[in-house]
Amino acid sequence: MPSLNNRPDDLLDIWSRGYYSDGIDRVYGDLALVAARLYGDTAEYFSNQSLIIQNNDERRSINTKLSNMHCSKTFVCEAWLVDEIEGVPIMSTIPKSLLLDKVRPDITIELKVGMPIILTKDCTHIRPGEEMVYMKKGSRLVVVDVDEWVVIARGISPGKIGRTFNIGRTMLHCDNISDKDNAYLRHQFPVVIGYANAEGCWDKVAEFRGGSRICPA
């Protein structure tokens, strides 16, 4: 199975359908028009019909457009600084060229109730009296609530549909949209907005369970 960075995150997700974007403005415009006519709420439509895009710039662009259309209250999640680890100073800024290419959370994440999100890191979830639940990187969820310490989200991936999970902050490298060359070690929620899926270079579209899927060449 290809990694998160080399495949759509909903490859086996029958909950949604993906659409290949070979020109983000054209595809966005076409689908937004159809969604508005058929569903009346474009943002709600895209919460249930994921887009598959070609690169990180397209992912960020379409996620921003659709996030702005979402009418719920915005929760601004600012990453916390990491000064040292067990008393040892650490390098909080590092060139991206020294890191594996991957989808990273932003230093500032703006989340809204009802917004789809994608996990960027394997996580565990446990509540008193419940067994520990493992959430795999690439899992898709919908935001239920947000506070300073936790994102509460409802699962929409196969096997997790309808279940509620608490996603806490973790230490990871984050992106800063004003600095494309460096990554920043911070305490942040390991999520990215999930209207558009993780980027990848894809040459053809395959039909899978009635939904459009992207397959590597």
**37 Cβ contact list (under 8 Å, min separation 6):** none
How confident is the model over 28-40, as a mean pLDDT?
56
Q: Report the sign of the C-alpha dihedral through residues 169, 136, 14, 204, in that order.
A: positive
Q: Side by side, which strands form the sheet with 191-193?
A: 164-168, 150-155, 140-146, 116-119, 191-193
The tally of domains found in the chain comes to 1
Take residue 173 and report the two structure tokens written for it: 């490298």
Q: Is the pLDDT at 199 greater than 70, yes or no?
A: no
Take residue 157 and report the two structure tokens written for it: 């991936």
At residue 175, the pLDDT reads 93
What whole-number distance in Å separates Cα of residue 172 and Cα of residue 23?
Answer: 32
**73 Cβ contact list (under 8 Å, min separation 6):** 112, 113
What is the span of the domain harbouring residue 31? 4-215
What whole-number distance in Å separates Cα of residue 214 and Cα of residue 217?
Answer: 9
- CA atoms within a 13 Å half-sphere pointing along the CA-CB vector of 96: 13
Pairing state between β 140-146 and 74-78: unpaired
Indicate whether this model's pTM tops 0.75: no
pLDDT digits (tens, 9 = 90+) for 127-162: 667 777 778 887 888 899 999 999 999 887 666 777
Q: Is the pLDDT at 26 greater than 80, yes or no?
A: no
Take residue 16 and report the two structure tokens written for it: 């949604």
